[in-house]
Structure 1
């Protein structure tokens, strides 16, 4: 962590507006590199992770590429004829257990990694399930993204990832994306010596804002019991209670 970021973290964490020690943040590092191969994205994850932990938020980093995650939208693809093994249900439990999910990726050909796409597809396969209030299962969770690379595409990837998280029920706070791009082309990556990534003020600022906004929003959602269950319950809609929607079949 840079000296500038250390001072900023110490100052803010000494007088936070709330307690965050009951929150859990999960980073899914969708690098293409399996452990223990170096992940540049994990360098930026470390910046956010240290700020979370300075505020007593529990954190965990998982590389999905370390696991067998088949293609498909089933809850457990090992129960289909196509696949013998599926580690995704185990990872889904980690996702379910967190309050804040930060989906992290490197940029390839201007897009998020294939691993990131697979993760979102598998998460999407669970969206027909409901939470205890009868809403889609991911209501009440906070989502954000961290992105690295040495080619253009941070904002494009962020738009796609944050829309996907929002679409399946996550609440996205302001400034929910941060990233670092090196020189376009075959230049240094984030953790390479002399890259300037760890010292980059713009990246450090956005990462810090991201962490605090995730904590603020997760605190509000947890204290209020999530998103109110009114006008957003699929079974209620199917039963004919259209929550004010004006249609010939259901008049108020």
Structure 2
């Protein structure tokens, strides 16, 4: 079926799950500009049938560190083990971050480190635990750095096993220096950034490409395990790796 404009009918992705982690430095219930843009992506996904769970990391007592449970390494409490259950159960992960001094927020770096804490874990194929999941990023701020922040975050997600689809980032920045941020209400009642076709287009493409990728991965049973099973490698399988002594 096609719509009047000739595009294919929107797919139904009921059954997919997504975890959104907003790495703002602003605790609830205060307004978060980053969450405002993430909500655009969330609305598109929910309309397509995806179950979305949003976390604002600063609202939770997430300890810093690179172990799955930091209470086993000196901290009195750690909310990450509970939040990581939602991350592990999800087909899609979206990280949102503001820009501070041209970089992602400290909360964002902490979440990346906590995700990395699971880098030694494997799935039922012996692959790293995040294989078969799709990842993307949303960035907001009023200074330069959207692409830089997206680049470092997407690299981190890809390195630990997430599949990064095309156009996996969306962002908005205003004029450099102090000023309004995404979603701020203006004197005429409109909200800053809502009229940015570039931002709204990229947020839409991000949402759909994440869903398409997650759906394809799920339908395919994940990524084929030949050549990338950590457990098989540790057991001695070398997957046609050339022996340097015979080159």
Q: Report the TM-score, using the length of structure 2 for normalisation.
A: 0.92
Aligned-pair Cα RMSD in Å = 1.9
Once the two structures are superposed, the pairs formed by residues 1-252 of structure 1 within 5 Å of their partners are 15-16=9-10, 18-80=11-73, 82-194=74-186, 196-247=192-243
From the superposition, tell whether residues 12 and 157 of structure 1 become closer, same or farther in structure 2 (CA, over 3 Å): farther
Q: Contact (CA 8 Å) 1:139, 1:171: kept in 2 or not?
A: yes
- After superposition, the Cα gap between the structure-2 partners of 1:11 and 1:99, relative to the gap in structure 1 and judged at 3 Å, is farther
What displacement does 1:248 show?
A: 5.2
In structure 1, the residue corresponding to 2:98 is in which secondary structure? strand
Q: Deviations over 1:152-174 (max 9, x none)?
A: 11000000000000000000000
User: How many residues matched?
Assistant: 240
CA pair 117-232 structure 1, distance change in 2 beyond 3 A: same
SS, match of residue 94 in structure 1:
helix
The range that moved more, 192-201 or 57-66, is: 192-201
**Alpha-carbon offset, residue 37 of structure 1:** 1.2
Residue 235 (structure 1) shift: 2.0
Shift of 1:122: 0.7
Calculate the TM-score normalised by the size of structure 1.
Answer: 0.91
User: Matches of 2:6 and 2:160 in 1, distance apart?
Assistant: 32
Moved over 4 A (4+): 10-14, 248-251
The runs of 5 or more residues in structure 2 that have no matched partner are none
Structure 1 portions without partners, runs of 5+: 1-9
